Structure 1
Amino acid sequence: MASTTDTLPTRMNGTRAWVDYLSKVELPVLANTLRRINELTDSNSSTVNQLAEVILNDAQLTSQVLRLSNTVFYNQTRTQVGTVSRAITLIGFDAVKSMAISSLIVDTLLARSERSHLLKCLARALHAAVQARCLLPRRNEQALEEVFIGALLMNIGELAFWSCDTEQADELEQRLGQDEPAVAAQKTVLKTTFAEITRGLVEAWALGPFIRDVVSAGRPNSKAASLVRHSVELARLSESGWRGADMDKLMETLGGELEEAPATVRDQVRINAGEAAKIAVSLGIPQVQALLPGADTGAEETTKSPQPAAPDPELQLQILRELAECLTAKPDINQVCQLVTEGIQRALGMQRVALLMSDRSGTQLVPRKVLGLETEGWRDGFVIERNRKTTLNRLLSDHECTLYKPAKDAQRAGFDPWVGKVPALVGPLMAKGRIVGLFYADNAGAGSAPSAGQLTAFSHFVRHAQLCLTLLSVS
């Protein structure tokens, strides 16, 4: 909860109060990140790079996305994926976007609370999302991920509420434990319902027209939205078993919509439930497996903790192989440079990486790609003037990859407390004997200078970007 609790109402009453409280006090970072991801569309390479940067700036999120990228659920070719950039290229923009959203939801909410109601809601949301994705007929990538996220977020108001440590959460939990009807208890304690809070959050967080249709009070406007609602109902009913009057009726309804026999649909949804249990493990939430039908099918998998930032020789080789594959096809400088910056950050264990390129005037090098924490000021401030003698101009003194060692009297750059003041790896990109780009990487305030081995690996990565630039200049 916020530290300025004295300025907040002691109780939230009504939909607007809860939407404001969840959006501005409890979950502003989640709201802003979801909004930013949803604003991205796969229209060109720049948005692909923006999605990669959103993911790569969160080590836990990167680990989750790559783990999911190597599951059969998303990657049926079983081609090993070692970088976020490669995942977007191989698996698809919308699929990686879906992984990022689901990972953010799970990690953010579970970091705040382990209430039994939150775990139950997460299990139901994940189960519904997998069912919707697996049941969707006439599939294309965008539609698959749209229904997955639609089902995952259909009850985002309830998920957000149970992640918060409030007196009203304790009070509602007590009432539900006494078997009071859920909606009646919500109206008494919250002066609204979870459904209304969800609709408010969908608008406030700009989650898009499809999810707005899914959570609306009226009839859905599309078969996909109808499937999402049925998948959420299916996940709820399955908690009491696969048989029963309500479940049988739902199987009939789904069979009609999917043009399949109800018995065929029943067999399929049971298989899908087992897949949901495996996805729970890949998302790092094995604690919800016991709440999912078919949880035993995923028992053979184990979770992996995200690796600390340290040089990873195997990952270096994997990314270098991916770079080589990119260069054997038609070279794409954006894709190659994205792989290089990601490789420097993840495989070398460097905390912050930037690629600077010449502006149109040719008088400045300006940021094109930035990765790492505490680099907010780099996009506007990390500018090297060619014709001025500054600390930053010392980064241009060599025409080969080098370890920059700051002079004793070096002045820090005004946009950052460490650039210019700490050792860094620097690698130029050349064209006709002139520096047209620069890769920069440092460890911020960690106090550790890059090693000779890191410099060697850094040089290998930069060499691939230089080769791509050279190939394009002669083609």
Structure 2
Amino acid sequence: MKVSNIENSRYKGVEYWTNRISDQEMPALCSTVKTLEKLAKDDVSSLSILGKSVMHDNALTSRILRVANSVTYSKGISQVTTVSRAAVVLGFDTIKNICITAKLLSSLLEAEGLSEGVYHRMLKLMAQAFQAAMLTKMLLKGYDEELQEEVFIASLLYHLGESAFWSTGCAETLVLDNKLNQCDSSQQMNQVVREVLGTTFEQLSLGLARSWGLGHLLIKSLSQPDQRTPEIRSIFLANKLSEILCQNSPNMAELSKRLQQTAGMLGLEVDELKGRIIRCHKATKTMADAYGARILVEHLPDPKYLQEEIHESQPAPVIYVSDANRQLQCLRELTQCALNKQDFNQVLSITLNGILTGVGVDRCCVLLMAPNRKSLIPRIVHGEGVEQMKASFKISLNSTKSVFQDCISLKKGLFVDNPSSSKWRLFMDDDIKAITSATGFMLAPLIMDQTAIGVVYADRESSGRRLSEGDFTSFSHLVDMANVCFTTSTK
């Protein structure tokens, strides 16, 4: 185990871990990736540089050529024997991504000084990521090869921050491993990660992606995971499916939902999709072997759950009640975000978590202004009915009389306590009534550089409970603190 001072680790944050992993823990991988990403695919000299960047590493070169000559990539011609020749035959982007994948797997698998628990976590996460990458590529099979390679590497690196952290073997890995073993929910796990690292694994992945220049698609998939483009959606769903199938006792209702979403995106029946995933799992085993990562095979997601009958029964919805301690905890986290000028998405995530679990609502979301400022579009949604809310909550701002328009123009929070009352009736058309809660809802503006960029919405639609003035005060306090974070981040 590597020695490390873990005091005040919560204040280290994403910048500290990004620099530490890049400069101290994985400098060789960082250097190789940066070199490869800078090479222009239309530059003839890049082929020579590509070969030279890996030629000193015989094991890496061997892995690259073995993958290039595998069934997946072979073009049916004689075997290639040099990296530069492989680039000519397979295409620059393909061989570049094979190089990155091979270097990433070797760097992580050869990590030293890890405890048994930490090493097992890292292997399981690597296997999950590798399966997700193969699934993503499979989901976009009808698209051009260049895009397939781009989504493969983006999906593989989706959890780079967590994989890289575990590979460091520092004192914090032991502390976090022990704390995670005592958690009962994903929410507790996320909180523990923040306490130990001072940031989230998602933000660390994003920090490394930006620092290493890992391409716009990976950065967009991490910073804007709710985008509905085929590439971003495929990366998101493939990682969700891989994560669920990696669990010892997966939530079958959740698996059913993700399978239906994926099948719907592809225009397939769910049974046909299951067959494709099972075939993809077999191909993943072969590819892992080609990359010299056979140890990952036993940790790959288990497709046996796809062959079991998935029941459609949904678990009872979770009803959150007002929790002053949880509100205070989130306000403290937002204060640290303001001091450290944290990422926009992290601020929004903490704010929504505070509203959902602290104020005690059933659902809440961030709606951001469209580029033409004529509508509000859902960006992040928490709570009940997430998918339905994302699909339905698109608010037009063309009407001069609208609670959403007033919230934006007045830069003021609104508590719509009784939507059917004369006070609010004129400010709500049929479209707004159809998507908002009949028992009341809350709105507050998001403000950056003195300009309203969107609103936060919250209600108790599914449980039918009423909101109070106290709930609105707590809700407003959290959003106000988020706006403080946005103000400090621009200074």
Q: TM-score, normalised by structure 1?
A: 0.58
3-state SS of paired residue (1:112): coil
Q: 1:217, CA displacement in angstroms? A: 4.6
Q: 1:295, CA displacement in angstroms? A: 9.3
3-state SS of paired residue (2:235): helix
Q: 1:41, CA displacement in angstroms? A: 2.6
Between structure 1 and structure 2, the one with the greater Rg is 1
Query: What RMSD in Å do the two structures reach over aligned CA positions?
Result: 2.5
Q: 1:137, CA displacement in angstroms? A: 3.8
Residue in structure 2 matching 1:132, options 123, 132, 136: 136
3-state SS of paired residue (2:70): coil
Cα distance in 1 between the residues matched to 2:243 and 2:7: 34
Cα distance in 1 between the residues matched to 2:49 and 2:106: 21
3-state SS of paired residue (2:183): coil
Residue in structure 2 matching 1:152, options 153, 156, 159: 156
Q: 1:66, CA displacement in angstroms? A: 0.4
Cα distance in 1 between the residues matched to 2:89 and 2:258: 36
2:240 aligned with 1:236? no
3-state SS of paired residue (1:163): helix
Kindly provide the amino acid, as one letter, of the partner of residue 279 in structure 1. Answer: M
Q: 1:162, CA displacement in angstroms? A: 0.3
In structure 1, what is the equivalent of residue 86 of structure 2?
Answer: 87
In structure 2, what is the equivalent of residue 435 of structure 1?
Answer: none
Kindly provide the amino acid, as one letter, of the partner of residue 80 in structure 1. Answer: Q
2:300 aligned with 1:292? yes
Q: Residue 162 and residue 94 in structure 1: after superposition, are their counterparts in 2 closer, same or farther (change >3 A)?
A: same
Q: Residue 295 and residue 112 in structure 1: after superposition, are their counterparts in 2 closer, same or farther (change >3 A)?
A: farther
| Residues 172, 189 of structure 1: 8 Å contact kept | yes
| Residues 277, 295 of structure 1: 8 Å contact kept | no
Cα distance in 2 between the residues matched to 1:84 and 1:199: 29
Cα distance in 1 between the residues matched to 2:225 and 2:237: 14
Cα distance in 2 between the residues matched to 1:283 and 1:132: 18
Q: Pick which of 212-221 and 230-239 moved more.
A: 212-221
Residue in structure 2 matching 1:198, options 201, 205, 224: 205
Per-residue CA deviations over 1:77-102 (Å, capped at 9, x if unaligned) read 26422222221122221111111000
Per-residue CA deviations over 1:69-121 (Å, capped at 9, x if unaligned) read 11111125264222222211222211111110001101111211461111011
Output aligned runs, 1:326-475, within 5 Å: none
Q: TM-score, normalised by structure 2?
A: 0.56
| Residues 92, 141 of structure 1: 8 Å contact kept | no
Residue in structure 2 matching 1:261, options 258, 269, 275: 269
| Residues 51, 84 of structure 2: 8 Å contact kept | yes
Identity in percent = 27
Output aligned runs, 1:30-69, within 5 Å: 30-69=29-68
Kindly provide the amino acid, as one letter, of the partner of residue 106 in structure 2. Answer: D
Q: 1:235, CA displacement in angstroms? A: 0.8
In structure 1, what is the equivalent of residue 445 of structure 2?
Answer: none
Q: Which runs of 5+ in 2 are unaligned?
A: 305-491
Cα distance in 2 between the residues matched to 1:142 and 1:128: 18
| Residues 278, 303 of structure 2: 8 Å contact kept | no
Q: 1:29, CA displacement in angstroms? A: 2.3
3-state SS of paired residue (2:110): helix
Alignment length, in residue pairs? 294
Per-residue CA deviations over 1:380-424 (Å, capped at 9, x if unaligned) read xxxxxxxxxxxxxxxxxxxxxxxxxxxxxxxxxxxxxxxxxxxxx
Per-residue CA deviations over 1:130-173 (Å, capped at 9, x if unaligned) read 11112214322210110000001011100110001111110110
2:177 aligned with 1:164? no
Per-residue CA deviations over 1:428-451 (Å, capped at 9, x if unaligned) read xxxxxxxxxxxxxxxxxxxxxxxx
In structure 2, what is the equivalent of residue 121 of structure 1?
Answer: 125
In structure 2, what is the equivalent of residue 177 of structure 1?
Answer: 181
Per-residue CA deviations over 1:361-383 (Å, capped at 9, x if unaligned) read xxxxxxxxxxxxxxxxxxxxxxx
Q: Residue 218 and residue 120 in structure 1: after superposition, are their counterparts in 2 closer, same or farther (change >3 A)?
A: closer
Q: Residue 293 and residue 203 in structure 1: after superposition, are their counterparts in 2 closer, same or farther (change >3 A)?
A: closer
In structure 2, what is the equivalent of residue 99 of structure 1?
Answer: 98
Q: Residue 134 and residue 59 in structure 1: after superposition, are their counterparts in 2 closer, same or farther (change >3 A)?
A: same
Kindly provide the amino acid, as one letter, of the partner of residue 190 in structure 2. Answer: V
Q: Residue 9 and residue 79 in structure 1: after superposition, are their counterparts in 2 closer, same or farther (change >3 A)?
A: farther
In structure 2, what is the equivalent of residue 347 of structure 1?
Answer: none
In structure 1, what is the equivalent of residue 384 of structure 2?
Answer: none
In structure 1, what is the equivalent of residue 28 of structure 2?
Answer: 29
In structure 2, what is the equivalent of residue 141 of structure 1?
Answer: 145
In structure 2, what is the equivalent of residue 246 of structure 1?
Answer: 254
Kindly provide the amino acid, as one letter, of the partner of residue 194 in structure 1. Answer: F
Q: Residue 220 and residue 39 in structure 1: after superposition, are their counterparts in 2 closer, same or farther (change >3 A)?
A: farther
Q: 1:10, CA displacement in angstroms? A: 8.0
